[in-house]
Amino acid sequence: MSELNFYKMSASGNDFIVVDNRDGKVDAMFPDIKGFIQKVCRLHHSVGADGMILIENSKEHDFRWRFFNADGSEAEMCGNGGRCAARFACITGIAKEKMAFETIAGIIKAEVTGTRVKLQLTTPSQLKLDYPVGLEDKEIFLSSVNTGVPHAVLLVDDVDYTPVEELGRLIRHHKSFGEKGTNVDFVEIIDKGNLKLRTYERGVEGETYACGTGAVAAGIILREKSLVESPVNIITRGGEILKVYINDEVYLEGDTRLIYIGTLNKEALL
């Protein structure tokens, strides 16, 4: 196996493997891209990550990205991954501090200031408030919105004691959200400017320390219900705070970390 260099990056507890694939090297080396990503994203046995980001060429913008969840599925968008991709592009000289890049969800704009990245997301769609969903033994009321990827949001009294794994799994696969399912966000209101959030992520198939598009989804829905004001601080499971701006345009802002730069060895895929 030829050498494959990568950056390990993190944003609010979500960690990603970021690769400069402008020469198409990853596709040439690994025709089974899904299997490759599943192997390299394994915790304890390989690099380990919530997902992989491939930075590729774009004819009209600074770059194009392909984003993959840890299970190898390709996703339209990832807020925290987008912030890592923007900082990666800035560090490596692919783009300047202000940039725009292509995703399946649409064109994303970003601004990098040191380690902090402010990301303009695509226009939210499919907003739906307070509708009933029947689970195994009860009925709950959810709201949902697409912030690049679909999110269902459930307002709870105490997010720390919410059974996120169990309840999140039921909602994530519910027939109401079709074959692809949805991400699920559990949100607790502290006050008009602060929320606590836990997310069950589709593709990771479990709770993650943070979810950028989920933070935006929670902010949009609760502002629509007049329960918060913009900007709103989202306290993630990992303890970091994301700032969400909700006006005519929607922005996600927070810190990023470059953890290390490495070279993948063939034993990482065993």
Cα-Cα end-to-end distance for the chain? 13
The size of the chain, in residues, is 270
Q: Please answer whether residues 122 and 79 qualify as being in contact, where contact means their C-beta atoms are separated by less than 8 angstroms.
A: no
What's the distance, CA 136 to chain centroid?
Answer: 28
Find, among 205, 214, 128, 136, the residue nearest to 168 by Cα: 205
Q: In three state form, how does the secondary structure of 202-215 look?
A: CCCCEEECCCHHHH
Task: Return the exposure string of 133-152: e unless at least 16 CB atoms fall within 10 Å of the residue's CB, then b.
Answer: beeeeeeeebbbbbbbbbbb
> Phi and psi (nearest 5°) for 22?
-65, -20
What's the distance, CA 100 to chain centroid?
Answer: 17
Distance CA 134, CA 96 (A): 48
Distance CA 58, CA 67 (A): 15
For the annotated catalytic residues, the residue numbers are 78, 211
For residue 169, give the 3-state DSSP assignment.
helix
